[in-house]
Structure 1
Amino acid sequence: MRGRKVLLAGLVFMAAGASTATAAQAGPIASGRVTLHGSPAVVTVTYTTCEDLGQTRTNGVFTSFTNAPPPGCQVVLSNRTASMVLCAGRGSIPPAFRQDPWLQVGPGETRPCGITTTSPR
C-alpha cells in the first residue's frame, strides 16, 4: 500500500510538471520592462513576448538602466560595433553604449545585476 502512494505522488508530480511546461510554451509570458535613464531623456520599453522583436533605436544619452525581464528573456543594448546583455535589476551603462543605443528583446538567460559584499575584518 505504501509503495502505491509513492508511485501515485510521483505520477501527479510528473503530470503537473508537464502541464506547466506546456502552458509556458503556449501562453503569453509575464510582461517585461526595461528603462534607460539619462538626463533629461528616459526611455521605457514594455514587452509581452520574448520573440526577437528587432532593434528599437533610442535617442539621447543614458547613464543607467532598470531591467525587469521575465524568465527566459533578455535585453541587449548595442551600438554600432558591440553589444551587451543587460543584467536583471539596476545598473550603469558603460560609456561606449551611452549615446543613442539600440535595444533588442529576445529569448535568452539574464543574470542578476552584481551584488557587492564586504569581507569581515
Structure 2
Amino acid sequence: MPDIPWSTPHEPAPGAEVYVMASRFETETLTGALRFFLKAPGIIRQIRKAPGAHGVALRARVTRRTFLTLSAWEDRDALHRFARSEPHRSSSRAAAAFMKESAFTYWTVPASELPLGWAEAERRLAERKQAY
C-alpha cells in the first residue's frame, strides 16, 4: 500500500520550534488493519484542516498490520486539541478494540527541519520500545 507523503497544512513561523509526534500502531488482525487503513485518509484530511498543524505523513504496511504516523504541530496544545476533536476522537476509541500495540514519542525541532523523515521517527520509536 502506498504511503501518504508529508504535507504541510500550515507553514510555521520562521524560527519557530515545532512539537513532533510519531506513532506506531499494530493491529491484531488483517481485518483490523483494513479498518484502520480505511479511516486513515479522513483523519489525514482532518489534520490538514486542524489549527496549528504544520505537517503530517502516514506509512501504511497493511499486510504487516503496521502503521506509522508522523506529525508536526505548533505546540502540544494544538496536538491535544486535534486528538480530542471529531472524527479522530471516535476513530481512535473504536480502533482500540482491534489494536495489538501502539507506541507514541514526542520531541521538538526547529521549524527549519521540516519536512521530517521516517528515519528519525523510526529511531525514536525503537528507542522508546527498548525502554520498556
Normalised by the size of structure 2, how large is the TM-score? Answer: 0.24
Greater relative CO (CA pairs within 8 A, separation 6+)? 2
Identify the structure with the greater helix proportion.
2
| TM-score, normalised via structure 1 length | 0.26
Computing the radius of gyration from Cα coordinates, the structure with the larger value is: 1
